[in-house]
Chain A
């Protein structure tokens, strides 16, 4: 986390607040985070504030935010789920890449369509 050689000073698990799992549903690395228009409460942690500031100009994925915050993705997910639960963020699952079309399925569809005639 901290720059320079030797043992890091601030470990990433600090943002988990002692929890073993994130509060919300599982998030993909490429899930897109979008800031909502809500105001952050005054007791928001500085790392959460920083994340919201990062998202102010536009959406970022979880893994990009993690890189900006200099945190591992697993720790960033804790921040994101907390902010999403409080309504300060929207999360959107990543768009799956288009896969190969299953040829056998298409063929069966074709057979079915023909049999309609």
Chain B
């Protein structure tokens, strides 16, 4: 029996030992599990903290920065703070959030800008038509009254018109004016007249063909574009300096308008931006133009795209900026001969290498008779070389006297008048009866009769 007891004891001991071992193992396992769980929870906590930080970064830094970068391309957009602490999915989603915010801002901005442009377009169209009407009225007033203040008023009106028109163009409106084919020099003068400080603008006409003109549809757009370039040139240069405009025909059939100012010039950033705008980007937002908006180059850029001009800007040898506006050949034509150029249009400089007194005077007489010859149909024109009876008293009296003083010496005049007097006296003394009809033949104003009397007197002498 003893061995049975011993076996049972051993078995019990073995079982106890095994149980103890198991217990110890499971305890170790539990410990390890607990440790693992703790580590995992710590890691999860750390991830959460990191994620919260990233979200904070997203809300406070990245999205505002992304929105800012849309209007200020140089602004830095920060990325994830600690890329390693956030797993790939979260990082991608966070970046997507930035992207979505950016898209939303861009779309909204486009919508707001389009609405603003539409509103501006409507308003400026209305103002433009009102200003055009007042311009017409001022034009009539100018011919009725001699007050120079009407001229000033006209100028103010023109400045307002330019502003309105350029705003309209910027807001994708049609320039709002149909013209006929217009001589290039007249367009240049027209653009000059729309700019504050126009008296500082000097136009040099180097056209080979004086009657070179712009086709109707491009005439007003070119005037607007050039006016904007001139406005920039005068606004950014000293009031004592001159803004030089050179009108040139290119080797082909195009033409160049070159604007030089002696102004303050532009830094590289501004120049880059100007070139971007002048190249004619597909869309220019009003919000991109600053406050107050710098519309000049943007307007030129739009017209460049719409009408096929070309504009280049660079530093000018005169110290400021030089802008070159190229008009392609297909927009150019030549005016018909029946249309006379404006009296204000500068004549082409044919030999600018020899600026002597006679050289610029030489080309003048040629166009003059043609221009004067174009007028008589509509205006009374006097030609003193072939005398004719004229009813105008004050001017013609002076003119007759003038002509006689020029054409004969005092001695001749004396002789002829003495002969006339003598002849009259003779006639009266011979037959007192015939003096009455003789007096009827001599109305005092009729020059032809004066001449006849002179002849009579000479005959009798």
Q: Which residues of A approach B to under 8 Å, CB–CB?
A: 1-4, 6-22, 29-30, 32, 34, 39-42, 45-47, 49-51, 53-54, 57-61, 64, 67-75, 77-78, 92, 94-95
Q: Which of A18, A22, A50, A58 contacts B382 (CB 8 A)?
A: A58
The chain B residue with its CB closest to the CB of A96 is B394
A11 touches B158 (CB 8 A): yes
Chain B's interface size range is 35 or more
Q: Tell me whether A49 and B179 are in contact (CB under 8 A).
A: no
Contact A77 B148 (CB under 8 A): yes
* In the complex, residue of chain B having the shortest beta-carbon distance to the beta carbon of A57: B384
Residue of A nearest to B153 (CB): A13
Determine whether the beta carbon of B148 is less than 8 Å from that of A30. Answer: no
Interface 1/0 per residue, B240-282 and A, CB below 8 Å:
0000000000000000000000000000000000000000000
Cross-chain pairs A/B with CB under 8 angstroms, 23 sampled: A2-B342, A9-B179, A10-B345, A11-B158, A14-B192, A18-B198, A32-B394, A39-B357, A41-B357, A46-B343, A49-B364, A50-B343, A50-B368, A58-B382, A58-B403, A61-B394, A61-B395, A67-B379, A68-B375, A68-B379, A75-B151, A78-B148, A94-B394
In the docked arrangement, what's the CA distance between A14 and B195, Å?
A: 11
**B384 engages A70 (CB within 8 Å):** no
How near does chain A come to B394, taking the closest CB pair, in angstroms? 5
B342 pairs with A10, CB closer than 8 A: yes
Q: In the bound complex, what is the Cα–Cα distance between A17 and B155 (angstroms)? A: 11
Flag if A20 contacts B149 (CB, 8 Å): yes
Q: Which residues of B contact A75 (CB under 8 A)?
A: 142, 148, 151
Q: B368–A12 contact, CB under 8 A?
A: no
Q: Does B35 contact A (CB under 8 A)?
A: no
Q: Determine the chain B residues whose CB is within 8 A of the CB of A21 once the complex forms.
A: 148
Cross-chain contact A57 with B382 (CB below 8 angstroms): yes
Interface string of B270-305 (1 = CB under 8 A from A): 000000000000000000000000000000000000
Determine the chain B residues whose CB is within 8 A of the CB of A58 once the complex forms: 382, 384, 399, 402-403
Which residue from B143, B193, B360, B381 sits with its C-beta under 8 Å from A10? B193
Q: Does B359 sit within 8 A of A, measured CB to CB?
A: yes
Known: A14-B193, A16-B151, A57-B383. A9 touches B142 (CB 8 A): no
Q: B412: CB under 8 A from chain A? A: no
Which residue in A20, A30, A42, A77 is a CB contact (below 8 Å) of B361? A42
Within 8 A of A (CB), among B372-414: 372, 375, 379, 381-385, 394-395, 397-399, 402-403
CB contacts between A and B, total, < 8 Å = 149
**B346 in contact with A46 (CB, 8 Å):** yes
Interface-located stretch among B5-13, B70-78, B180-188: B180-188
Query: Chain A residue with minimal CB distance to B158?
Result: A11
- Once A7-B177, A9-B223, A12-B151 are accepted as A-B contacts, the answer to whether A47 and B382 lie under 8 Å apart by CB is no
Contacts of A73 in B (CB 8 A): 143, 146
A20→B148 contact, CB < 8 A = yes
The 6 A-B pairs with the shortest beta carbon distances in the complex, nearest first, are A18-B199, A72-B142, A13-B151, A9-B190, A58-B384, A17-B199
Additional 16 contacts, C-beta under 8 A, given A13-B152, A19-B199, A78-B148: A3-B339, A9-B182, A12-B142, A13-B151, A17-B199, A34-B398, A42-B355, A45-B344, A49-B364, A58-B382, A58-B384, A60-B395, A68-B381, A69-B343, A71-B343, A74-B151
Q: Please, how many angstroms separate the alpha-carbon atoms of A20 and B381 in the complex?
A: 31
Please pick, from A9, A51, A94, the residue contacting B187 in the complex, using a CB distance under 8 A: A9
Closest CB in chain A relative to B419 CB, distance in Å: 26
CA–CA, A114 to B277, complex, Å? 92
Contact with A along B326-353 (1 / 0, CB 8 A): 0000000000000100111111000000
Contact with A along B42-62 (1 / 0, CB 8 A): 000000000000000000000
Closest B residue to A18 by beta carbon equals B199
Residues in chain B near residue A92, CB distance under 8 A: 398
Q: Are A10 and B395 in contact (CB under 8 A)?
A: no
Which of A7, A8, A71, A94 has the most chain B CB atoms inside 10 A of its CB? Answer: A7
Tell me the bound Cα distance from A7 to B342 in angstroms.
15
- Asked if B189 is at the interface of the complex by the 8 Å CB criterion, the answer is yes
B145 contacts chain A at the CB level, 8 A cutoff: yes
